[in-house]
Structure 1
């Protein structure tokens, strides 16, 4: 059962609760990108300002972009997309997300005095499902490198002491390197890659992480009352980004395997096997507001409630604070000088 965040209507979700979200073979999907069983036709709403794309309900011809607040209009052409495999439902109600926005605005230091009033009047919290790719993959990596061990040796150092040259033994720490080769292996599960470029990665990262173990099999009913962004990162490009994430973890594995006090990696070669993927929709609450010609965003993780916002600063308040700090520092220096 899912409840609309705007009108309160409750909709029974079709499908069995015991269904599992099936991982799809990546190589097969890339070879058959237009497979009828994998894709579906979608009507699109397109933002002309930030280029974000959204799923359009039947008959919907326009709307407001949740990312930048600009008007969005229907694209007359239909697009064929890989359909979603799973969805993480909203766990944070709209009222709580709205309260998070108010509390965040009220707690801002050095914000313009009229910011809260203008932002609350303009910002409208919207529930949105964002598209992500998740990738699973078995990896094995052969590497060459060197292990560094710190050793201390004593070397003679001659210096002048009270007009005389004196030679003393001084400890010097250095690394002694030993060539090493080896192999590490790791199974990656649900490496998460954002599939829509419109919302900056910094905003998503600061809004926390999602637990993809709670993903449910996709059904259109989950989207009742919410907007769904469409992906614009291709499946192959998403896997390239996932490989970048995996390489960072593999490098850490190699360094642990080399051991010692320091490590050098001179060469590595990774084999990628049995790669699979899912197209999943993850929940966020988004509000966009404009202040003095600039657009700012506020994002709430729809699963955990963690929030992050962009904000303007008041130059005047910062300047007054600096002047106050300088005045206090000057007064302290004056008092110290009189009592010294």
Structure 2
């Protein structure tokens, strides 16, 4: 007789011993055998919004733990996912490549997550609506996407807080021609980042990140409970906090430069430099839900990403060469007509 893990036992239906999965529509566990729903019990003392202090100048005591979960490793992109409940798949949610069973998972513990709110059917509807609105899309694209393989899984993110004391210098131009001038400016400013969302995996592409960034609300966080993951896959946290901060450095630099531009309040800025002192770093480890639809068009693999929280959609799509040629011809015809009218009216 196969011995069940503690997580598997918790996901058995108390009425019929069938397997329960999390239903985004019900916001609860639903038995796949008898259809009974079961509320997820949350410890009120567990605060999923709790943040932890991080000081890069002192040793960090957080250590990864070895769990009973077995990871499935993608042979194409290298992504490692854990399946909870009956979610087992032989395909990778990130790239649709084949996955093979690996060893036990050693990971940092996520303390919070936002459960799926959109069902698979709703995600597919959002994706089809998205491709139908694409300019110059092939006529059969929506039908192709309707047959896409849909993968729902949780992806790892950090949230970071920090205080930045910034000293900057910049140059900007005014005037034109002989009156063109270059000016220098310098100054200081304070920037507070609160809940800056940062991917905690190199497999989270900009398309996945952008689909999630605008829908994140820390008030939606729930405690990390395996019941929320039942029926889904998840990539867990494997980056240390210092690695997460380093991976987010490029995004942070861009945000600081944009804040400096706003602070200078000048147009035609041509150069910006700065140095910053960072303090008050706090972080969370969380999991966020995403649907990814994998499809192929003319033997080219593509995907559409739908945020599992509120449905914001991004994706890859092909273009119809015939529609592009038609649009080009129409624009050229309009330009010719406009030029003819302009000339006939004697406006030259």
- TM-score greater than 0.5 by the shorter chain: yes
> Does the residue aligned with 2:302 lie in a helix, a strand or coil?
strand
User: 2:53, 2:280 within 8 Å by CA — same for their partners in 1?
Assistant: yes
Say which one has the larger Rg.
Answer: 1
Correspondence for 1:241: 247
Instruction: Name 2:158's counterpart in structure 1.
Output: 133
1:45 touches 1:54 (CA, 8 Å); kept in 2? yes
| Distance in 2 separating the partners of 1:228 and 1:64 | 13
Aligned to 2:189: 184
Aligned to 2:282: 276
Q: 5+ unaligned residues in a row in structure 2: which ranges?
A: 1-25
> Which residue does the alignment assign to 1:166?
none
> Counterpart of 1:103?
129
Find the counterpart in structure 1 of residue 39 from structure 2: 12
Q: Which residue of 2 aligns with 1:295?
A: 301
Q: Secondary structure at the match of 2:126?
A: helix
Map of 1:191-206 to 2, 5 A cutoff? 191-206=196-211
In structure 2, what is the equivalent of residue 311 of structure 1? 317
Structure with more contact order per residue of length (Cα contacts < 8 Å, sep ≥ 6) = 1
State the secondary structure of the residue aligned to 2:90.
strand
Distance 1:4 1:332, change over 3 A: farther
Comparing 20-29 with 41-50, greater Cα deviation is found at: 20-29
Q: Give the whole-Å Cα distance in 2 for the aligned partners of 1:303 and 1:280.
A: 14
Q: Distance in 2 between matches of 1:250 and 1:320?
A: 43
Describe the superposition over 1:115-136 as per-residue Cα deviations: whole angstroms up to 9, x where unpaired: 3333322x13332211101112
2:32 pairs with 1:32? no
Equivalent in the alignment of 2:10: none
> Which residues in structure 2 correspond to 1:1-340 (within 5 Å)?
2-3=27-28, 7=32, 10-17=37-44, 19-21=46-48, 22-27=50-55, 31-34=60-63, 36=65, 40=67, 42-57=69-84, 62-75=89-102, 77-121=103-147, 123-141=148-166, 143=167, 145=169, 172=179, 174=181, 177=184, 183-206=188-211, 209=214, 210-231=216-237, 233-254=239-260, 268-323=274-329, 326=332
Conserved in 1, the CA contact under 8 Å of 2:197 and 2:213? Answer: no
SS at match of 2:198: strand
Aligned length, in residue pairs: 316
Query: TM-score, normalization: structure 2?
Result: 0.73
CA offsets per residue over residues 226-283 of structure 1, 9 Å max, x none?
2212345543221123344344444455556667788798864422223221110111
RMSD of aligned residue pairs (Cα, Å): 4.1
Cα gap change, 1:339 to 1:43, in 2 (>3 Å) = same
Unaligned runs of 5+ in 1: 153-169
Q: Give the 3-state SS of the residue equivalent to 1:65 in structure 2.
A: coil
1:149-203 residue CA offsets vs partner (Å, 9 max, x unmatched)? 9799xxxxxxxxxxxxxxxxx994645657x5x5433332211111233342134
- Determine the structure 1 residue equivalent to 2:6: none
More strand by share: 1
